[in-house]
Amino acid sequence: MSSILVSLETGVLTITLNRPDKLNAFNPEMHQLLRQALERARDEEKVRAVLLTAAGRAFCAGQDLSERNVSPGAAPIDLAISLGSHYNPLVRQLRELPKPVVCAVNGVAAGAGANIALACDLVIAARSASFVQAFSKIGLLPDSGGTFFLPRLIGTARAMGLALLGEKLTAEDAAQWGLIWKVVDDAQLMTEALSIAEILSAGPTKGYGLIKKAFALSATNTLDAQLDLERDLQRQAGFSEDYREGVAAFKEKRKPAFKGK
């Protein structure tokens, strides 16, 4: 059974983490297949939004801790190799994909699993889901962008509490804290997530890509630099077919037919 399932329907590429008996923990194969699926999302014009979710009761338990011999007696392992070759490229790929990525968190998201979810553009969680910065429980620090995303999303006080204590944050608290977009009843998760992904897949894809770029750069820009960036990106957006269609549809009081061009 493949550790990643991929299907394309109405412009939405649904990617499902599929190691449910391992709580969808990452092993090298799952990394490789996920990266390939995201490359497909980038390259195929038909793909206009991505929906990332997972099979079974968990979203993802982070690194598969049973993969290696980590024990007091064993030789030390260089974790930078795993981050450099797997997790960091994955986070960059999600952030740099010029198409929106919706993440439907169906259950617990722990360690790198939580931070991969937060690297997506719009996170929707089932009421029974939770987020755990489990790293400190095993002597590590949040990785996969955790130390970047957490303080920016919820402020340093809450980010530090989560990172130091490694406690479970319920999906409801995550939504209330502004860590994620929203929480829905478990039974509604996939319907709601798919409906959002379909709205996005029928939207102005180029404009969405530019929104992602502007937000990414705002993390380090001054206001002056960001204003210049908005000017430059808006020039590009204004040259898109979808901008012309959007304005025409508004004037004609009809629904726009965006082509993602």
Considering only 76-84, 181-189, 216-224, 248-256, which stretch makes contact with ligand LHQ by CB under 6 A?
76-84
- CB nearer to ligand LHQ: give 82 or 240: 82
Distance CA 95, CA 213 (A): 8
Give the neighbor-by-neighbor strand order of the sheet with 58-60: 58-60, 108-110, 130-132, 168-170
| 63 interacts with ligand LHQ by CB under 6 A | yes
Question: Taking the CB of residue 236, how many other CB atoms lie within 10 A of it?
Answer: 14
| 103 interacts with ligand LHQ by CB under 6 A | no
- Tell me the two tokens of residue 24: 């969808």
- The answer to whether the Cα torsion of 100, 18, 129, 131 is positive or negative is negative
Considering only 78-86, 152-160, 177-185, 206-214, which stretch makes contact with ligand LHQ by CB under 6 A?
78-86
Distance CA 20, CA 111 (A): 16
What single letter denotes the amino acid at residue 153? L
Distance CA 120, CA 122 (A): 6
What part of residues 127-146 is at the interface with ligand LHQ (CB under 6 A)? 132, 134-135, 138, 140, 143
- CB nearer to ligand LHQ: give 28 or 178: 28
Query: Which of residues 2, 65, 156, 232 is near ligand LHQ by CB under 6 A?
Result: 65
Query: Which of residues 47, 103, 108, 179 is near ligand LHQ by CB under 6 A?
Result: 108
Residues that bind ligand LHQ (CB under 6 A): 22-23, 25, 61-66, 79, 82-83, 87, 108, 110-112, 132, 134-135, 138, 140, 143
